[in-house]
Structure 1
Amino acid sequence: MELTRRGVFALTAAASLTLCGGAGAAAATEEVIARTALGRLRGLRQGGVCVWRGVPYAQPPERFAPARPVQPWQGVRSATEFGPTAMQIALGPGGPSTATRQSEDCLYLNVWSPGTTGRRPVVVWIHGGAFVSGAGSDYDGTQYAALGDTVFVTINYRLGAFGYLYQADRPGSGNLALTDQIAALRWVRQNIAAFGGDPDAVTVMGESAGGMSIGYLLGMPAARGLFRRAVVQSGGARPLFTPEQAAKTTAAVREALGGADPKSVTAEQLRTASAAVAKDSALGGEPFHQVVDGGVVPAHPLEQLDSQVDVMIGTCRDESNVLARILPLFAKGLPQHVKEVVGTAKWAQLQRVYRDSTPSDRDWELDLLSACFTVMPSVWLAEAAHNAGARVWQYRFDYADASPTGPVHAADLMFTFNSVEPDLLAPKADLAVARAVARRVFDGVVAFARDGNPGWAAFEPVRRCTMLFDAEPGVREDRIERVQREAWRGVRPTHF
């Protein structure tokens, strides 16, 4: 299938999804003022939903330095337009346009709420995009506010070299995206009551790189107490960089810059260098991501998970079926990385088990790639969170008509936002069925954010209950075949 620009966006979580964007389009608008601890913010009320866009949660950042708190202001600050997106690069043909308003001054968030009074559950969305692309403004929280009676927040954070370029002489530089996310969550903790939200009932939710970020936030001391629940979609506590591994990306960026200090070049030069490095097959196709640096991330998150945070975690059934054709990570980098971690003999065993146990109507190599990418990291996160004392729920998104290529990576996004777009479904999909699936996914998230229980049995190591979101939903004993899960026995998740 030749992916259109829109299709690539929908299937990689890097798109301008404009989810729910048409809600209330014909309704009259009026100004609404939120009185935060920092000052007053002017938003817009439309169709029963109040929206504040382009709210700064930190000062314009200094390159390679942690975000600094926003200073209070006088008078009323306008929050009616989205702020600039982070500097970013295209994931592939049809990826995000470089003409999008990008800036290093990108630390903005957006809020959707039914009103400024009350104490509603809060959901903070961390977008995906392979750590190099995406923006909070790509997503619309209207349905969560209008139908879910929650306060919905989307955020930007620094991407690519701007957010992940590790430099030993600049503490925290390899994890600035994570510290940006923590800064946003602190802002929510301090200010969300002004938007009708309950700061003690915050759920952080993210997909792909956003879900992987949450996998790290769950084990970061600096994030403790900032959220009560977490929804991890197609994520897990991966990928892992040691400082030595991260230094290879840094060297490649410096080479792309002709030896110049990345801090001294223009933003466009650093963005262009990020794009060049992202295509370097020698770096495995995933050169920008978190670093276990002994500082911001003192240890692997699975070793120090927060037992007080409830976790809902799941993946799509066919995670790799499109990504394997459009991202260099899947062609060589991911299999090679896993082989290096588990050893040649174990990798051969995994290949044999997946080849022998995968049904004939499925591609065992793609299923193995999916396992390496998100499935096993999700399983390991569920197990580690349960062992730490947290409550855990699992799900799998199985709806075959979710896209022309099935329930692939990010095909669940429009269902998560209860905003089914018919032209993104399979050609003969039943729209009524698709909308029913979306409502079940959406209702599960809202119930989890509100009450800490999405509506099915919690995970236990013996009975690994997993909700299957499908045309006919149901709960199965385990998200993957037992023989495949047991084939991973002996692999150390903290080396992944």
Structure 2
Amino acid sequence: MESLRAILFLLTLDLLSAAKLGVVQTEGGAVEGRSQSTGLFSRVDIFKGIPFADVPKRWEKPSPHPGWTGVLKATKYQERCLQVNLLQTKTQGSEDCLYLNIFVPQGSKLSTNLPVMVYLFGGAFLLGASNDLEVLGQSLYDGVELAERGNVIVVTVNYRVGTLGFLSSGDHRIPGNYGLWDQHAAISWVKRNIEKFGGNPDNMTIFGQSAGAASVSYQMLSPHSKGLFRRAITQSGVALSPWAHQRKPLSLLKKIASKVGCWRTDMDETFTCLRMTDPVGLTMAGKIDILLLLGKGVVMDLLELAPVVDGDFIPDEPSRLFSNAGQFDYMAGVNSMDGHIFAGVDVPSINQYKVNTTLSQVRGVLSGLIKERSGPALDEAMDLYSSTWGSVPDQALVKKTVADIETDFLFLVPTQIAVKLHAKHSRGARTFSYLFNMKTRIPGFPRWVEAEHAEDLQYLFGKPFSFAMAYFPRHRDLSEYMIKYWSNFARSGDPNTGESRVPVPWPRFTTALKSYLTINHQMKKSSVSYDLRADYVSFWTSTYSNQTQMTLNEE
């Protein structure tokens, strides 16, 4: 009798537990993932390694996948696209890499009409994957926590990087932007198929960080994206970022061709040779020379492979394409010390306790960014950044200034220009701006270091919940806030409105008010401010325009 009661109890629990999708029919064939329990009445269906395009041909746009017979077991991540490893010593991955992963939250009934969030990873257009940086078997971009806590479908995608993704001749022969075309193909696949997984194809948000954020920005600006998604979020990167645009693609192609023995005076012979060259050799030819990074210049100058104006996906200078972005609700921001890791490479002393950072080193960083050894612009920059130092500069303040310089130049200012241009060109779409400044969790850094590049991702993807022992309650508070703001925005186009109550109302960014929200674990009314680093934005906006001949008049 007791055993019968136990069996009936277990059967009841099974009936009351969350629904499961099972086999899903996509345009290419049937797929079956696995279901992960996240609570008594909640689960997340996980599909890993669904192909969204065929194996790409070298320096060609992606083509539709031919499909498959039977049921595809979508239970493991597929290989990343061929790329150099982090230390730039060897390659990893495969040319057969155009796959995506889907995370679907379920309650007692199958989910329907859910908002969809498509994530594009970062990695300097050189490396990265949809399942990058695995810890204890879980990817940094594992979508379970965000999907379950935000009640949204999360999709992560692979795209070509490095030489195979972004080499360009600057003309019709190798136009470039293959990684952007892969992203576009993935977003299009999601648009066509996500309804079968319980998603709303008319309520899609694309989001990304660093080069992934710049990619999101390019997707917004491209005329090919009209009507494809509804909203976009960029975290620490936009198309206007100085590292996100290759302006001399042919000279870079010549350099890579020389490295693999393909340089010829006849360019057609060069291209023929490149197309026949071993892909591993081509990939290694696009690596960064680590030895050039050690305090011998500006690290940004070594990041060469990037999107180009190709006359097709990106038909003009990014600054002139914001009329295309006016259809999308837009949320954008940066981490308060996005530039610190790069500044520490350019000026190692900023992270050394017993070594001073000299005024000449600060001036040297500014000189490297402005591209002037001397002159009024350099003097103006030095005056601006030293204005808070006083007569006897504190070393911590001087060192923090170096990090601020690179954060402003590489991330903050271009993002502020982008939100201003978006607000100016908006056709009813909303604009939101933020600054993420949670203190770093990376051990060994000086006390003044706040939010390092990419530190926001652990909170957005819910790591303080999935790895609770490694975090404190304040980190879970912050993670909860971010997931609420991001999922509300994906649901409604407004981070304040949706299924989650947020700690502080986040006002829209307008060309008049220029409001922004400071995001950390202590959210309150004073978290809302206006005109983020206005003097620095004004200075660098003028400098960008002079350097690139871009028109950045956002007023």
Q: What TM-score do the two structures reach when normalised by structure 1? A: 0.84
User: CA 1:76–1:335 in structure 2 vs 1: closer, same or farther (change >3 Å)?
Assistant: farther
Residues in 2 aligned to 1:183 and 1:171: alpha-carbon distance in whole angstroms: 21
Give the secondary-structure state (helix, strand or coil) at the position aligned to 2:542: coil
Give the secondary-structure state (helix, strand or coil) at the position aligned to 1:103: coil
Matching of residues 111-126 of structure 1 within 5 Å:
111-115=102-106, 117-126=111-120
Unpaired stretches in structure 1, ≥5 consecutive residues: 1-26
Equivalent residue, structure 2, for 1:15:
none
Matched-pair contact (CA < 8 Å) for 1:277–1:287: no
Equivalent residue, structure 2, for 1:155:
157
Give, in angstroms, the shift of residue 275 of structure 1.
1.8
Equivalent residue, structure 2, for 1:204:
206
Identical-residue share of aligned pairs (%): 27
Give, in angstroms, the shift of residue 269 of structure 1.
1.0
Residues in 1 aligned to 2:302 and 2:51: alpha-carbon distance in whole angstroms: 32
Matching of residues 445-456 of structure 1 within 5 Å:
445-455=486-496, 456=506
Give the secondary-structure state (helix, strand or coil) at the position aligned to 1:136: coil
Residues in 1 aligned to 2:127 and 2:389: alpha-carbon distance in whole angstroms: 33
Equivalent residue, structure 1, for 2:475:
434
Equivalent residue, structure 2, for 1:480:
532
Equivalent residue, structure 1, for 2:314:
297
Q: Deviations over 1:428-452 (max 9, x none)?
A: x970111101111111101111111
Bigger CA drift: 313-322 or 291-300? 291-300
Matching of residues 47-126 of structure 1 within 5 Å:
47=37, 48-92=43-87, 100=92, 102-115=93-106, 117-126=111-120
Residues in 2 aligned to 1:451 and 1:112: alpha-carbon distance in whole angstroms: 20
Give, in angstroms, the shift of residue 242 of structure 1.
7.4
Residues in 1 aligned to 2:346 and 2:97: alpha-carbon distance in whole angstroms: 26
Equivalent residue, structure 1, for 2:456:
412
Give, in angstroms, the shift of residue 358 of structure 1.
6.7
- The one-letter code sitting in structure 1 at the alignment partner of 2:343 is A
Unpaired stretches in structure 2, ≥5 consecutive residues: 1-16, 38-42, 133-140, 264-272, 351-360, 497-505, 551-555
Matched-pair contact (CA < 8 Å) for 1:34–1:41: yes
Matched-pair contact (CA < 8 Å) for 1:313–1:393: yes
Q: Deviations over 1:290-333 (max 9, x none)?
A: 111223211122322221101110111111222323489x9999
Give the secondary-structure state (helix, strand or coil) at the position aligned to 2:131: helix
Matching of residues 244-283 of structure 1 within 5 Å:
245-259=248-262, 261-275=273-287
Q: Does 1:391 align with 2:430?
A: yes
- The one-letter code sitting in structure 2 at the alignment partner of 1:284 is D
Matched-pair contact (CA < 8 Å) for 2:146–2:460: no
Q: Does 1:34 align with 2:28?
A: no
Residues in 1 aligned to 2:422 and 2:19: alpha-carbon distance in whole angstroms: 44
User: CA 1:325–1:125 in structure 2 vs 1: closer, same or farther (change >3 Å)?
Assistant: same
Residues in 1 aligned to 2:375 and 2:25: alpha-carbon distance in whole angstroms: 59
Residues in 1 aligned to 2:142 and 2:536: alpha-carbon distance in whole angstroms: 38
User: CA 1:338–1:242 in structure 2 vs 1: closer, same or farther (change >3 Å)?
Assistant: same
Q: Deviations over 1:338-383 (max 9, x none)?
A: 4249995324312321221479553222211111110011101100
Equivalent residue, structure 2, for 1:136:
130
Q: Does 1:349 align with 2:380?
A: yes
Residues in 2 aligned to 1:358 and 1:476: alpha-carbon distance in whole angstroms: 26
Matched-pair contact (CA < 8 Å) for 1:422–1:431: no
Equivalent residue, structure 2, for 1:190:
192
Give the secondary-structure state (helix, strand or coil) at the position aligned to 2:275: coil
User: CA 1:490–1:170 in structure 2 vs 1: closer, same or farther (change >3 Å)?
Assistant: closer
2:229 aligned residue (227, 230, 251): 227
Bigger CA drift: 456-465 or 236-245? 236-245
Give, in angstroms, the shift of residue 181 of structure 1.
0.7
Equivalent residue, structure 2, for 1:470:
520
Equivalent residue, structure 1, for 2:301:
284
Q: What TM-score do the two structures reach when normalised by structure 2? A: 0.76
Which of these two proteins has the greater Rg computed from alpha carbons?
2
Matching of residues 373-392 of structure 1 within 5 Å:
373-389=410-426, 390-392=429-431
Give the secondary-structure state (helix, strand or coil) at the position aligned to 1:467: strand
Residues in 1 aligned to 2:97 and 2:534: alpha-carbon distance in whole angstroms: 45
Matched-pair contact (CA < 8 Å) for 1:249–1:277: no
Residues in 1 aligned to 2:262 and 2:190: alpha-carbon distance in whole angstroms: 40
User: CA 1:31–1:370 in structure 2 vs 1: closer, same or farther (change >3 Å)?
Assistant: same
Matched-pair contact (CA < 8 Å) for 1:131–1:159: yes
Give the secondary-structure state (helix, strand or coil) at the position aligned to 1:410: coil
1:490 aligned residue (526, 529, 542): 542
Matched-pair contact (CA < 8 Å) for 2:367–2:373: no
Residues in 1 aligned to 2:27 and 2:374: alpha-carbon distance in whole angstroms: 53
Over the aligned positions, Cα root-mean-square deviation in angstroms equals 3.3
Give, in angstroms, the shift of residue 187 of structure 1.
0.5
Equivalent residue, structure 2, for 1:318:
337
- Give the paired residue count: 463
